[in-house]
Structure 1
Amino acid sequence: MMALALSAFGTGCSDGSETTVEGDGADPLVGIGREVTVPISAVTTTVLEYGAEPRAALRPEVAPGVTQQVTLRTDHHIEQQINAQAVRDFSPPAITIPLTAQAGDDDIELTLGTVTSPDPALAKALLPADGSRAGFDISELGAITALRLAPKPATSDAARAALEQAFYQAVYQSITFPDEPVGVGAVWTVRQQVSGSVPLDQVTTATLTHREGSLLTIRLNVVQTPKTTVWQLPNQAGQLEIVDYLMHGAGDITVDLGLPLPVSGSVEVGGNQTYRDPNSAVTLRQTLRTQVQWGA
C-alpha cells in the first residue's frame, strides 16, 4: 500500500557561484519510449504496540483484475539561501495525476489519465503523457519492491522528470504492514533506506487509528536522517558537508485492503537543511516541504 510522498533535494555551489541541483530521492530513470524497472530498497517492520482485541493480520486482499480510480497529487516547495543572500524559491510546479489501477497477482498496473499542473508550460508538456503506464511490484505485506514507468514516447524530458519525481515521492513513503496480528491502536515502525545523492535512513511510525472491515485509517509519522556527513555532488563537482539535516512529517491515510491504492489521505513532510563548502566560506540553507494527497 502506498502512502505519501517524500524526496531529498540538494543544492551545491563552488567558489561562491551558485548551482542548483534537484534530485527525486532515487537515481533517475533512463530509457525513452520503453518501460524501465527500478528496484526499491527493502523495508523492515517492528511492532511496538499490538493494539486492542480483536487482532488480525493486515494483508492486501486485492483480487486480480480489481480496478480502482484514484488521483495522486504532489506539491513540493523548496527555498534556498546562500550565505546572507536573498532567499530564493526553486519550487517545481505541483502536478495532479488521475490513475486507473488494476491489480495483478503480485503487482499493480497503472494507467495515467490527463495529468495537470497549475504551471501552464508544464501542463502543456504533460498532455502527451495521457495514457502512459506505470506499475508497482508488491510484497505479501504490501511493500513496494519495484517501480515501473513507461511514459508515452512523445513525453518531453520536463514532463517525464515531473512524473518520475511524483511516483518516487509516493513509493519511498510506502507503508508496509506488520507480520504479526494487530488491532486498533497498534503501532509499528517501517525502516527503509532512501537512495539518492544523500542516502537517508527513513523511519515511518504507523498507528492504526480506526478499522471498519477492510477499511483502515492509519496515522503516519516520518523521520529522515542522513547516513553520511557529506554530500557528494553530481558530475564530480566536489562535496558539501552536512551541517544539519532535519526532515519530519505526519499525516493520515485511508486504505482499503481490497483495493490496490490508498483511498484518501494527505501527508506533509518538511524541514531544514544546511550544507557547507569545505573549500570556501559558502553555506547553503534549504527549507523543504512536500505534500502528497490521495483522493477521488
Structure 2
Amino acid sequence: MIVLALGLSAFGAGCGDGAEVRSVSDGTEPLGLGKEVTVPITAAVAAVVQPGAEPREPLRPRYSEGTVQQVTLRTDHRIAQQINDQPVRDYSTPALTIPMTARSGPDGIECTLGAVSTPDPSLNKALGTADGSRAGFDLSELGAITALRLAPNPDTANSARAALEQAFYQAIYQSVTFPDEPLGEGAVWTMRQQIAGGVNLDQVITATLAAREGDRLTIDLTVVQKPRNESWNLPNNAGALDIQDYVMHGSGTITVDLGMPLPVAGTITVGGHQTYRDPHSFSVLQQTIDTRVTWSE
C-alpha cells in the first residue's frame, strides 16, 4: 500500500497553445518542464440559508483591473498513517510560507511568488530557485475559482514544485464563493463543491457573515467532506481499497476585502481520519490528516 495523496497533484495529459491543460487525480509527481499548467476546478455553488439583517446587498469582488496586493499564504499538512499493527509513520509535508504579489488581470488573478520558506532545510534549499515563479486563478463573477494556473521557474526542483502545488490546492478548496442574492450581517450560505481524485469528494462549506465594515467582511466557515463512492482507486491502476470510515471536517474564520484579489487574513483548519481495507488481503490502512491554511497581509 502507498500513502494517499487525496486532492493533490498528478495530472493527465492534454495541451494547447503552448500551455498544458490537465485534470486532477492522485499521485505525487509535480508539474514539470517550466510550462504554465492550467488545472480546471469544479466551481463551488453557493446557496443562501439565511439572508441576514438589513441592509442587504449582493456581495461581489469589486477590485479593478491592475489592483495589486501583497499577501502571504501559509500551509501546514500533517499525515499519520498506519497499516495493520505496524508502527505509525509520519508522511507530513513541511509547512510552507509563500509571500506573493497578486495582481488582478483580464483573465483573473496573477501571482508572482517571492522567497518561499519552510523549516525543512533540504526543501528550503530547493525552494530557493522558485522565487519569481507564477500562479494564477480564474474566477467567476461570484468569486468561485474555476481554474488554477501554475508556472514554476524552469530550474525549480521537483520537490519544490510538488510542495507549491500542494499548498495552492489546499488554499483553493477553502476559498469563498458568494451567492447571487443580497446578504446582510448574520447571513448564512452554503458552498457545495466536488473535489476530484481517487476518492471523489463532496465538500460543503457553510459560511456566516459575522461582521462587515465597508468592503471588509469577516466570514466564519465550517467544512464537511464526504466520499462520493465506496472505494479509493489507487494510482497507476494498482487496484482499489474499500472505504470503511471517512470523517473530515473543519472550521475557521477568514477576512475578505471586496476591493482586493485575495483574502487579507484568516485561518482555516480541516482534519479527520480515514480507514481503508484491501479487499484481497484484508489489510487495513488508517490515516489521520490535519491541514491548516492561513492568509495574512
The number of equivalent residue pairs is 279
Structure 2 equivalent of residue 205 of structure 1: 206
- Listed as ranges, the matches of 1:1-296 within 5 Å are 13=1, 19-25=2-8, 26-27=24-25, 30-296=31-297
CA deviation string 1:188-246 (max 9, x = no partner): 00000001111100000000000000000000000000001011111111110000100
Contact 1:243 1:275 (C-alpha < 8 Å) held by counterparts: yes
Give 1:22 deviation, angstroms: 2.5
C-alpha separation in 2, matches of 1:106 and 1:134? 12
Contact 2:6 2:199 (C-alpha < 8 Å) held by counterparts: no
C-alpha separation in 1, matches of 2:45 and 2:71? 28
CA deviation string 1:110-148 (max 9, x = no partner): 000000000000000001000001111111100111111
C-alpha separation in 2, matches of 1:94 and 1:108? 24
Contact 1:266 1:294 (C-alpha < 8 Å) held by counterparts: yes
Aligned-residue identity in percent: 63
C-alpha separation in 2, matches of 1:117 and 1:30? 20
C-alpha separation in 1, matches of 2:40 and 2:87? 40
Equivalent residue of 1:268, what SS?
strand
Equivalent residue of 1:165, what SS?
helix
C-alpha separation in 2, matches of 1:141 and 1:209? 19
Structure 2 equivalent of residue 10 of structure 1: none
Aligned residue type for 2:51: Y
RMSD after superposition: 1.2
Equivalent residue of 1:94, what SS?
strand
C-alpha separation in 2, matches of 1:56 and 1:233? 46
Contact 2:32 2:158 (C-alpha < 8 Å) held by counterparts: no
Equivalent residue of 2:198, what SS?
coil
Instruction: Give 5+ residue unaligned stretches, structure 1.
Output: 1-12, 14-18
Equivalent residue of 1:122, what SS?
helix
Contact 1:215 1:256 (C-alpha < 8 Å) held by counterparts: yes
Give 1:21 deviation, angstroms: 4.0
Relative to the length of structure 1, the TM-score reads 0.92
